[in-house]
Amino acid sequence: MLCYKLDKKNKLKPGASEIYLNYIFMDRWEEVKKEVNEVKNKLDGFEDRLRDLEAKYPKIMESLNELSQVNESIKLVKDEIESLKETIERLKEQLYSTGAEKIENVIMLKDKLGVQDEDQNLIGLGNSENDSNVKEKINEIISISKDHVCIIEGEAGSGKTTLLYMIGKSLLEKGDKLYYIVEPSNFSFQEFRNLDAYALYDIRDPEIANEILRRKLREDIEGNVPLAKVIISVRTSYIKDSSFNDELRREEGFKNVHEAHTGYNKSILQEMAIRRLRNSFPNLSQDDLDEASKKLVGKSEGLPLYIKEAVKMLKEKGFSLEVLNNLPLGTANMILSILSEEGKRDSSLIFVYFLVANYPRFPQRLLEYIENFLDIHTPNYMDESSDGKISLHSWYRDVLYSLMDAGNPSNIINKLGVSEDSRSLVDEVLGFRKRVIEQGKIFDKIKDNYERPFADFINKYPNNRVLNELNNYIKEFFKHRNSIRPLDLSDAILLSSIIGYVESVIRRNDKYHYGFKVLEEKVGYSLIEPSSLGAYNELISFLVNGVAVESSRISEGETRPFYLFLLIAFMNLFHNEVINTLEKEFSNIGAQGEMNYEEIFYSSMNSSDVIKDTLKPFFGTEINGFSNL
């Protein structure tokens, strides 16, 4: 057949192609024919298989699609498993870190600790020999804390908080997870050690020191509970007051606790002074820096806070060796001198200093409102953070609380531990306090603006025995201008200023943009103009984290009517189930004189920590002198 086709295609005589092929292949022709037949047979089988494959193609494609879907499902399952793992880790982290907040960066760390200093002023962050010595101390504490709770103790103003900040900064720079304890009552030392993280806390209040040291940590020590990775700073006096004594130190579980003491030698203190002086007075000669730093260290009694406040005073008065020589000895006297200088400018500033010293992270915007509302000068010696929060060291709180709460100069001198040489300073500052009350300018401003609104608010709850009792105190306050207590005037300043601030700064989201009358209406989040939300959130944070915690520093049985009034009135600033329940229960107090705490507690279970913190003063209001609640 092949030869016939070749003959026909090439127009040859019949048989010519066969003769030609026989000539080419000679005796292999039979072999070639055999191979050709084999190829033909294979091709015939291939066509059959191809047709079979074409018939099966849709089913094959269907199977491939199913396989692709299975692979996609496997990928989704894997992703879901990874997500579940992350959720589990997050939940474990939340569980083990209950009562603590994660610190994301150095700015947040500074915010939590209230550190206002520039890093360039701090010894431990530079390259000098003194920096190396402090760094060694920092690294030692971090290393020991891997299997201990570390307690950094020292006097007020000795640099505990600054050391804690540098420890936290070092941990963050190393990539370690870091937390700050925000709710000591809910924090568990035992649970936290399950986290691969560190926790810091700066104890600034004796009541909180008792909560942590006398109750929580003591229980864990006596139970020989393994402890680790928590670093706390606390005043030495708070440790003594909390029964953290030699008997406890003999417990087997105390091996899990390490005590570190702050204290700097003269070389480190002098370099601190030189850095602050150089940054404040860049044109000073090295000789002046050396002499001035030695004098500051000599007057500091070993406390870095003195150096910081003394340099502030030098900046205000202008640097001179005469001013330097006349600086007082010791931190208490330095703060009294600063208050004296400020009182000479404006006696009302004593009350402003008291408010800022008592309420941490005081909003700058609120302080500006107070200055305008009361027509007083701007204070010169306060620290301001980059986010507009004002603060003062706890030394100011101690000094000012003594001045506001005591009338006898001798008692103040004894409480502050200063000599009789300080009596003239104490008398002078007490004179400013007395002048503010006698002149009555602030009192009249509050009375004219808020006596009627206070009464109207209270009259809305005629059967509320707590408010009736509160009303009696407030009526007496407005009746007797010259005999009012300085603490009551301070509380009245804060209360009236916040009411006015809400009305003038936090605007409505409507065409009129008026403020809110917080004594008359509930402030709804959705009703607030977007541009005012920052001020609103800042105020809420201040009320919860600054004002409400004041209750822990009020002595048992002490009556603070305007402080309690503030807590009650500003429930109108919150929209939350538990706050609404609290407000309803408080409003319905009748003859029984008590609230349904069980319902309030139940409502609070799913509330945020912010709301829970707001409730705390209401669960311990006997300390405010109103045992009916």
- As given in the structure block, the two tokens for residue 540 are 């809420």
Same domain, 475 and 426: no
Please identify, among 439, 455, 488, the residue that sits at the C-terminal boundary of a domain.
439
Same domain, 559 and 600: yes
Is residue 311 domain-resident? yes
Count the residues in the chain: 629
Tell me the C-alpha distance between 224 and 241, whole Å: 22
Is residue 603 domain-resident? yes
Is residue 340 domain-resident? no
Same domain, 316 and 389: no
Of the ranges 50-64, 85-99, 472-486, the best mean pLDDT one = 472-486
Same domain, 257 and 268: no
Is residue 335 domain-resident? no
Tell me the C-alpha distance between 319 and 482, whole Å: 41
Is residue 487 domain-resident? yes
CA dihedral (58, 63, 66, 70) in degrees, to 10, reads -160
Mean pLDDT within 483-489: 90
Handedness of CA 209, 214, 215, 221 (dihedral sign): positive
Same domain, 517 and 528: yes
Is residue 332 domain-resident? no
Same domain, 395 and 446: no
pLDDT at res. 11: 64
Quote the domain boundaries for residue 170.
100-263
Percent of the chain with pLDDT over 90: 36
User: For residue range 580-607, what is the model confidence (pLDDT) as tens digits?
Assistant: 555 554 555 444 444 444 444 444 444 4
Please identify, among 263, 283, 305, the residue that sits at the C-terminal boundary of a domain.
263
Kindly write down the DSSP assignment for every residue of 171-225, as one continuous string.
HHHTT-EEEEES-TTT--HHHHTTSSEEEEEE---HHHHIIIIIIIIHHHHHTT-
Same domain, 424 and 446: no
User: For residue range 435-464, what is the model confidence (pLDDT) as tens digits?
Assistant: 999 999 999 999 999 999 999 888 887 777
| Total number of domains in the chain | 5
Please identify, among 388, 413, 439, the residue that sits at the C-terminal boundary of a domain.
439
At 528, is the secondary structure helix, strand, or coil?
A: strand
User: For residue range 348-392, what is the model confidence (pLDDT) as tens digits?
Assistant: 999 999 999 988 889 999 999 999 988 998 999 998 887 888 989
Between 195 and 38, name the one with better pLDDT. Answer: 195
User: For residue range 487-538, what is the model confidence (pLDDT) as tens digits?
Assistant: 999 999 999 999 999 999 988 888 777 888 888 888 877 888 888 888 888 8
Is residue 314 domain-resident? yes
Same domain, 471 and 614: yes
- As given in the structure block, the two tokens for residue 152 are 């950094």
Mean pLDDT within 158-176: 94
Cα–Cα distances in Å, from 420 out to 386, 409, 414, 475, 477? 40, 10, 9, 39, 34
Q: For the whole model, what pTM was predicted?
A: 0.78
- Domain of 169, CATH number, reads 3.40.50
Q: How confident is the model at residue 618 (pLDDT cuts 50, 70, 90)?
A: very low
Same domain, 455 and 563: yes
CB-based contact 441:346 (threshold 8 Å) = no
Kindly write down the DSSP assignment for every residue of 28-82, as one continuous string.
GHHHHHHHHHHHHHHHHHHHHHHHHHHHHHHHHHHHHHHHHHHHHHHHHHHHHHH
Q: How confident is the model at residue 53 (pLDDT cuts 50, 70, 90)?
A: low
Q: How confident is the model at residue 417 (pLDDT cuts 50, 70, 90)?
A: confident
Mean pLDDT within 596-622: 46
pLDDT at res. 286: 92
Chain centre to alpha carbon of residue 53 = 71
Same domain, 447 and 392: no
Between 617 and 311, name the one with better pLDDT. Answer: 311
Q: How confident is the model at residue 146 (pLDDT cuts 50, 70, 90)?
A: very high
Q: How confident is the model at residue 239 (pLDDT cuts 50, 70, 90)?
A: confident
Whether the predicted pLDDT of 22 surpasses 80: no
Whether the predicted pLDDT of 149 surpasses 90: yes
Same domain, 33 and 149: no
Is residue 593 domain-resident? yes
Same domain, 118 and 258: yes
DSSP code of 592? T
What does the mean pLDDT of the chain come to?
82
